[in-house]
């Protein structure tokens, strides 16, 4: 049986400000004190697994152990059909530069990789999100969400984070970078995983 969350405090096991903001927004209707991992000085563990669920588990369990509080981790990324699912779990790595993460660079890299294989249009892709809620005793619950779309070029919009400006969700005329956060939060991969988490554990 799925374990229910019964506390008042929940640690979000991320150092990604964009994700933290989105998750905070999604939890707004609940009376839960949301704490970012960096507020507790919890370091980032190395993500050594080759799946979203594997890496989300590492982050959630590490944070639950360090904080002694239930912790929620999100591992997410974009999978591109014409690139056989890349960058997938390496989505954030594609943004690495000597000066830190640069998502304009990552989006250019993505576009160049698609040009190299002469990928046909529409360039179908998915944003995927795995949420793991872990408790200090080692128990966890896993929820997965997805949104289907295609990649556009050039980048469109200043909103959101990461690869949002090149992701056009199916059935919409605005990219995630053009949508406001309420619109995105209704349909995103994170919203999908989140609604499963809410019905399972809250
Ligand atoms: P990780 O889950 O922290 O390993 O990294 C996931 C990466 O996927 C992020 O750094 C973003 O680049 C990308 N990503 C995940 N969710 C979104 C989203 O909602 N919009 C844009 N990019 C995202």
pLDDT digits (tens, 9 = 90+) for 114-124: 999 999 999 99
Residue 94 resides in a domain: yes
Average pLDDT for residues 41-61, to the nearest whole number? 97
**Residue of 75, 145, 144, 80 whose CA lies nearest to 106:** 80
Q: Is the dihedral of CA 18, 21, 22, 23 positive or negative?
A: positive
pTM for the whole structure: 0.93
Residue 25 resides in a domain: yes
Residues with CB under 6 A from ligand 1: 16, 47, 75-77, 91-92, 127, 160-164, 176, 188, 190
pLDDT for the residue 19: 85
Residue 3 resides in a domain: no
Domain count, the chain: 1
Average pLDDT for residues 145-160, to the nearest whole number? 97
pLDDT for the residue 25: 86
Residue 31 resides in a domain: yes
Q: What is the CATH number of the domain that holds 188?
A: 3.90.950.10
Reply yes or no on whether the pLDDT at 21 is more than 90: no
Q: Quick check: 70 and 136 in contact, CB under 8 A?
A: yes
Q: Is 137 a catalytic residue?
A: no
Q: How far is the CA of 1 from the centre of ligand 1 (A)?
A: 30
Q: How far is the CA of 171 from the centre of ligand 1 (A)?
A: 22
Contact partners, residue 186, CB within 8 Å, separation at least 6: none
pLDDT for the residue 26: 85
Residue 4 resides in a domain: no
Contact partners, residue 77, CB within 8 Å, separation at least 6: 52, 87, 88, 89, 90, 91, 92, 127, 128
Average pLDDT for residues 183-191, to the nearest whole number? 94
Average pLDDT for residues 59-69, to the nearest whole number? 98
Reply yes or no on whether the pLDDT at 18 is more than 90: no
Residue 1 resides in a domain: no
Domain of 46 in residue numbering reads as 9-201
């Amino acid at each position: 049986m799925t374990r229910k969350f019964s506390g008042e405090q929940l640690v979000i096991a991320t150092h990604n400000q964009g994700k933290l903001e989105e998750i905070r927004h999604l939890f707004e209707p609940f009376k839960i004190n949301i704490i970012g991992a960096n507020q507790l000085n919890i370091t980032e563990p190395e993500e050594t697994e080759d799946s979203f669920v594997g890496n989300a588990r590492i982050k959630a369990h590490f944070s639950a152990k360090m904080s002694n509080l239930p912790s929620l981790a999100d591992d997410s990324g974009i999978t591109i059909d014409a690139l056989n699912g890349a960058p997938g779990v390496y989505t954030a790595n594609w943004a690495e530069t000597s000066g830190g993460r640069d998502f304009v660079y990552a989006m250019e890299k993505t576009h160049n990789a698609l040009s190299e294989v002469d990928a046909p249009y529409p360039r179908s892709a998915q944003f995927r999100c795995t949420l793991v809620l872990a408790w200090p005793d080692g128990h966890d619950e896993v929820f997965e969400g997805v949104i289907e779309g295609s990649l556009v070029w050039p980048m469109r919009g200043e909103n959101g984070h990461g690869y949002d400006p090149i992701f056009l969700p199916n059935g919409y005329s605005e990219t995630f970078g053009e949508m406001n956060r309420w619109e995105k939060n209704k349909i995103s991969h994170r919203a999908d995983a989140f609604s499963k988490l809410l019905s399972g554990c809250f």
